[in-house]
Structure 1
Amino acid sequence: MMLAGGTLAVGLALLPATPARAVEAPASAVPTPPPLPPERPEALKPPVAEPASPPPPSRPAELKPVVPEPIREPVKDVIRDKPSETAKDSPKETAKPEIPSPPPSPPERPPELSGSAALALKVTPPDDTACRTRLKRLGVDFEPLPPIAEGQCTAPLPLKVTRLADGVTLPQGATLTCRTAEALARWATEVQVEAERTLKHPLTGLELGGSYVCRGQNHDVDAKLSEHAFANAADIMAFTFGGRASIAVKALPEGSDDAQFLRTVRMKACGFFRTVLGPGSNAAHANHLHFDERERSGGHRLCE
């Protein structure tokens, strides 16, 4: 009730204060939580790890390898003596270096291998019995000679050959080893065939310029020893025939029967000897055919 002069306002002020109510927000202002995502398909799920296999049981003690204990050397007690008064006063001695003992000297050479006795030693020559048997079957006339020992020129089993097969003679004779004599005899049979085919006359002899001679190669005193120095070579100077003139070994004009004969028999010699030289090889062999049986590495042959 309002009184005049503001009585109503005073009465309202004397009333007790009431607490204010909280103003509730409307329901539309509260946020809604997002929806849960769908579950992952089984095909896209990661594989479940298998549980780890349990560790193997430990090896029994009776099957474990026995580890040997290291050998320990006993520790020796080292008792160090106290230096005496005298040792303190005396100067220290310097250790002298050890001088190595000289090596033992080699034993002395046996008397049979020293001096002139060593030069007198002889190597047992190879047995040429089978070779001599073949020479007889080829119709070769020969006789053994004493061993040749002229300084470094040697021939332990030389033969003197005077006639080859088919009556082919060696007027000067030839001092040769059996192996070289056999090669010469087999080559001469091929020469006989070529003489009758090309020249129409039989071969009757070979004129030799030398067989055994103690000299160097090409007669050079400073050169290596020739195979002549070992009765291992023969020099053919000319061929003699029945019913016609002989043919000397030299350069002949091409186209003649004599030139064809020399060329053919020279080529055939390469199948019997390890060395064949002649006119055209060098100046020292311009007038003869040189045949020898020199051993070379790898079985190499020299045919020029």
Structure 2
Amino acid sequence: MSSRPLAALIRRGVALTSLFALSALSPSWAQAETVPPVPPARPADLTEPPAPVVEAPRPPERPPELSGPAARSEATKPDATKTEDGPLTPPPGSPPPLPPARPAELSGEAALALTVSATDDTACRRRLERLGARFEPLPALSDGQCGAARPLKLTALGDGLAVTPPATLVCGAAEALARWAVEAQVLAERDLSRPLAGLTLGTTYLCRGQNHDPEAKLSEHAFANGIDVMAFSFSGRPDIAVASLPEGTPEAAFLAHARATACGFFRTVLGPGTDAAHGNHLHLDERERTAGHRLCQ
């Protein structure tokens, strides 16, 4: 045998012997080369079954009137606000279009008539009776924008206090007058040592503007909600007319106190010194104002 093949066989035998020796000495190295690594654990979010797919709700069926030829004819109807050339607009410089005609029921005398539901004043009338007032109901008053739905004819106040002439008033104004009269009776005894016997009245209900001005805002007299007191009568002494009296007299003191007390019962109190129109009487009314404001002059 040739020496070259023999030498090759000897070298191969030596290599195999060395490999077996290394495997015996280093088993962990040999295992690492031959055994594959263990895969990582499966994530928890991939172990559960997938969520079911929810279908979106189907739209409702199209109404019959919006389907078929009727819907197509409505869709092709020409727009009254447009023309073939674009939107229908007036040419520059043309006057603005006229507003529609005013309905007949809102024109003329019908527009002046107020249609207001009557307020239930049953509780007010009971209080008025307990105050000793004498009154009777009247038919509704109506005169254009003036009027009252449930007026009363007031003939006397508590303790037989006369009302001359009888007053045509709504219940709220009549009640305020009756309550004020109780205080006026106390003032008469204190300032004049005489009992109050009655009130002389001027205007109660009258369809007119404030201060008799036809161009002014309607007076509360136009709604039976105002009272003009002209004088006070007493037992055993002359009447006291409402006027500017000399200071320091019992009569002047009584009028001043009665006028000041009225501001606690009425929303409006005017009299001598306010203006020329109220120089000879006390005007009392129950006009409602913003935030409960009162006018006491």
> Residue in 2 aligned with 1:99?
86
Alignment of 1:76-115 (within 5 A): 98-100=85-87
> Residue in 2 aligned with 1:269?
262
> Aligned with 1:215: secondary structure?
coil
From 128, 138, 142, the counterpart of 2:131: 138
> Aligned with 1:295: secondary structure?
coil
- How big is each residue's C-alpha offset from its partner over 1:252-295, in whole Å with a ceiling of 9 and x where there is no partner? 11111000000001000000000000001111101100000011
TM-score (norm 2): 0.65
How many aligned residue pairs are there? 215
| Unmatched tracts of structure 1, length 5 or more | 1-59, 64-95
Give the whole-Å Cα distance in 1 for the aligned partners of 2:111 and 2:215: 25
> Residue in 2 aligned with 1:220?
213
> Sequence identity, in percent?
64
CA distance change for structure 1 residues 120 and 197 in 2, over 3 Å: closer, same or farther? closer
> Residue in 1 aligned with 2:203?
210
RMSD value over aligned CA atoms? 3.2
- How big is each residue's C-alpha offset from its partner over 1:192-228, in whole Å with a ceiling of 9 and x where there is no partner? 0110111111101100011001111001111110000
> Residue in 2 aligned with 1:25?
none
Give the whole-Å Cα distance in 2 for the aligned partners of 1:185 and 1:205: 11
From 111, 129, 144, the counterpart of 1:151: 144
Code of the residue aligned with 1:129 in structure 2: it is T
Alignment of 1:229-248 (within 5 A): 229-248=222-241
> Aligned with 2:194: secondary structure?
coil
CA distance change for structure 1 residues 298 and 171 in 2, over 3 Å: closer, same or farther? same
Give the whole-Å Cα distance in 1 for the aligned partners of 2:276 and 2:114: 39
> Aligned with 1:190: secondary structure?
helix
Give the whole-Å Cα distance in 1 for the aligned partners of 2:204 and 2:281: 13
CA distance change for structure 1 residues 255 and 198 in 2, over 3 Å: closer, same or farther? same
> Residue in 1 aligned with 2:182?
189
> Aligned with 1:210: secondary structure?
coil
> Residue in 2 aligned with 1:17?
none
Runs of 4+ aligned residues of structure 1 deviating over 4 Å after TM superposition are 60-63, 107-121
CA distance change for structure 1 residues 180 and 120 in 2, over 3 Å: closer, same or farther? closer
CA distance change for structure 1 residues 223 and 194 in 2, over 3 Å: closer, same or farther? same
- How big is each residue's C-alpha offset from its partner over 1:21-74, in whole Å with a ceiling of 9 and x where there is no partner? xxxxxxxxxxxxxxxxxxxxxxxxxxxxxxxxxxxxxxx7958xxxxxxxxxxx
> Residue in 2 aligned with 1:125?
118
> Aligned with 2:181: secondary structure?
helix
> Residue in 1 aligned with 2:296?
303
**Displacement of 1:244:** 0.3
> Residue in 2 aligned with 1:282?
275
Code of the residue aligned with 2:273 in structure 1: it is G
Give the whole-Å Cα distance in 2 for the aligned partners of 1:110 and 1:220: 31
Code of the residue aligned with 2:86 in structure 1: it is I
Matched, 1:171 2:158: no
Matched, 1:249 2:242: yes
The structure having more radius of gyration, on CA atoms, is 1
> Aligned with 2:86: secondary structure?
coil
> Residue in 1 aligned with 2:153?
160
| Unmatched tracts of structure 2, length 5 or more | 1-42, 47-82, 90-99
CA distance change for structure 1 residues 114 and 185 in 2, over 3 Å: closer, same or farther? same
